[in-house]
Amino acid sequence: MQRTQTSPDRGRAALGPALALIHSGAAPTRSVLTSALGVTRATAGAITNELEALGLITVDARPAGGTRGRPSHRLAVDPSGPVVAAAQIHADGFTVALAGLGGRLAEPVDLPMPDDPGPARVLAAVVREAVRQAGADHRRCVGLGLAVPTPVALPDRTAVAAMYLDWPSGARIGEELERAAAEAGLRVPVELANDANLAALAEHRHGAGRGARHLLYITSGHRGVGGALVVDGRLHTGSAGLALEVGQLTVDPNGRRCPCGSIGCLDVEADPPALLAAAGREADPARTMVDQARAVLADAAAGDARAQAAIDHVVDRLGLGIAGVINILNPDRIVLGAFHSALLAAAPERLPQVVARRSHWGRCGEVPIVPAALARPELAGAAELAWAPVLADPLEALGGPAHPPRAAGAP
Ligand SMILES: [Zn+2]
């Protein structure tokens, strides 16, 4: 007998999309959720009951007051619901924090690199800290996500160019992470991805990129420049996960030498060491590049003309790079990571002017360029990666079914 899709089946298929809307804050009430999903009120009620029974959300039956129109139940993520472990590896060490749904990060723990900074030891240290934090928390931990400062080639999940980590190119870090989790007895899904990609995803869901349809994200950590594109809520990865390597765009043919072998790449013309060099300052190996770049920004704010000239020099090259990407991708919003946000604040008119002068779409469309809103976007993005299986199918990921609306004993 041909079986048509029944209402409960449709309800199950909508659990993930419904949770994603509540997770991102896009559906604060059941009536908003009902229209966003295009389902009946009864179906929306069954969906929210199911998510509540899974311990993922709370449904406040008291109608939201003070609004016009039909009152509706308020929806929120359940603060005592499951968590994931979010981790980030960076040039100076690694960071781990537990994260609830709704982009709620607990206090992150920063740790130094192990003595042997090869991928196996570093990934094992990350897993150990995640296991420790999960064991100290009463909530159920359902996944581990890790942001790494290297492009990750798909489908083998190999580190392609960990230029600032000294990891061998081609290291199979996805498998290494799974091995480390198995050895530590961590029996939940574990996954890793490029840090700029994950930061862009987090800014799109919870930060300055909310509502953008074609979000371009440009960022710099301690060294180098990364980029990512989120289209209709999904990362544009390219054929092998390596799209949007904006760092290797040439922005000055007579510029600085890049570790990639080229000259004048955005990577070396618009990162913290580039600002130090433009200001004529020697890098101090005892201090982080970010701190030394902040000192140049502070001096410029205090009226130091040479520091301001250095900022203008770097802003011109950053603007050239952004303009080139705008011409090709036609984004509707550009979000800048922390260092570039500081440059934008130090040259609020110059950067948009350079971008507009050098880009056709920038000139006629005035693409907004805004600072990132999240305190730790890479870590928040690692949490998004860990939540992916739950957002795709909550029942499958959490080992349901709960089905509270059905009578006990009913099939
Ligand atoms: Zn390069």
Output the pLDDT for position 360: 78
Q: Please report whether residue 70 resides in a domain.
A: yes
The total domain count for the chain is 3
pLDDT digits (tens, 9 = 90+) for 391-408: 999 999 998 554 443 333
Q: Please report whether residue 406 resides in a domain.
A: no
Tell me the CATH number at 356.
3.30.420.40
Mean residue pLDDT across the chain: 90
Q: Please report whether residue 409 resides in a domain.
A: no
Chosen domain end from 60, 78, 96: 78
Q: Identify residues whose C-beta is under 5 A from ligand 1, the ion.
A: 248, 258, 260, 262, 265, 267
pLDDT digits (tens, 9 = 90+) for 271-301: 999 999 999 999 998 888 889 999 999 999 9
What is the C-alpha separation between 328 and 344, in angstroms, rounded? 22
Give the 3-state secondary structure of residue 134.
helix
Query: Which tokens go with 98?
Result: 């537990």
283 with 390, same domain: the answer is no
CA 179–ligand 1 middle distance (angstroms): 33
Q: Please report whether residue 404 resides in a domain.
A: no
CA 263–ligand 1 middle distance (angstroms): 7
356 with 238, same domain: the answer is yes
Tell me the CATH number at 32.
1.10.10.10
What is the C-alpha separation between 84 and 297, in angstroms, rounded? 36
333 with 236, same domain: the answer is yes
Least confident piece of the model among 354-368, 376-390, 396-410: 396-410
CA 241–ligand 1 middle distance (angstroms): 18
CA 340–ligand 1 middle distance (angstroms): 18
63 with 110, same domain: the answer is no
65 with 118, same domain: the answer is no
Output the pLDDT for position 26: 94
97 with 44, same domain: the answer is no
Give the 3-state secondary structure of residue 179.
helix
Chosen domain end from 27, 46, 78: 78
Angle at 410 between CA 406 and CA 411, to 5 degrees: 105
Q: Please report whether residue 410 resides in a domain.
A: no
152 with 217, same domain: the answer is no
User: pTM of whole model > 0.85?
Assistant: yes
- With 70 as the cut, is the pLDDT of residue 382 above it? yes
- With 60 as the cut, is the pLDDT of residue 257 above it? yes
Output the pLDDT for position 70: 62
Q: Please report whether residue 142 resides in a domain.
A: yes
Output the pLDDT for position 406: 37
331 with 389, same domain: the answer is no
Output the pLDDT for position 353: 92
- Domain of 249? 208-371
Chosen domain end from 78, 97, 121: 78
248 with 355, same domain: the answer is yes
Task: Please state the rounded mean pLDDT for residues 331-353.
Answer: 95
Output the pLDDT for position 69: 56
CA 15–ligand 1 middle distance (angstroms): 44
- Classify residue 79 as exposed, middle or buried by CB count within 10 Å of its CB (0-12, 13-18, 19+): exposed
Per the model's pLDDT, the better-predicted residue between 231 and 244 turns out to be 231
Q: How far, CA to CA in Å, does 47 sit from each of 7, 15, 59, 60, 185?
A: 11, 6, 11, 14, 33
- With 80 as the cut, is the pLDDT of residue 19 above it? yes
Task: Please state the rounded mean pLDDT for residues 171-191.
Answer: 97
What is the C-alpha separation between 277 and 330, in angstroms, rounded? 32
Name the band, by pLDDT with cuts 50, 70 and 90, for residue 2.
very low
Output the pLDDT for position 365: 62
Strands 104-105 and 93-100: antiparallel
133 with 169, same domain: the answer is yes
Helices (H), 136-183: 173-183
183 with 275, same domain: the answer is no
Output the pLDDT for position 212: 96
43 with 119, same domain: the answer is no
- With 50 as the cut, is the pLDDT of residue 122 above it? yes
- With 70 as the cut, is the pLDDT of residue 7 above it? no
CA 401–ligand 1 middle distance (angstroms): 51
Q: Please report whether residue 146 resides in a domain.
A: yes
Q: What is the DSSP string of 285-349?
A: TTS-HHHHHHHHHHHHHTT-HHHHHHHHHHHHHHHHHHHHHHHHH--SEEEE-HHHHHHHHHSTT
Output the pLDDT for position 244: 87
Give me the residues paired with residue 335 across strands. Answer: 217, 370
Give me the residues paired with residue 90 across strands. Answer: 93
Output the pLDDT for position 411: 36
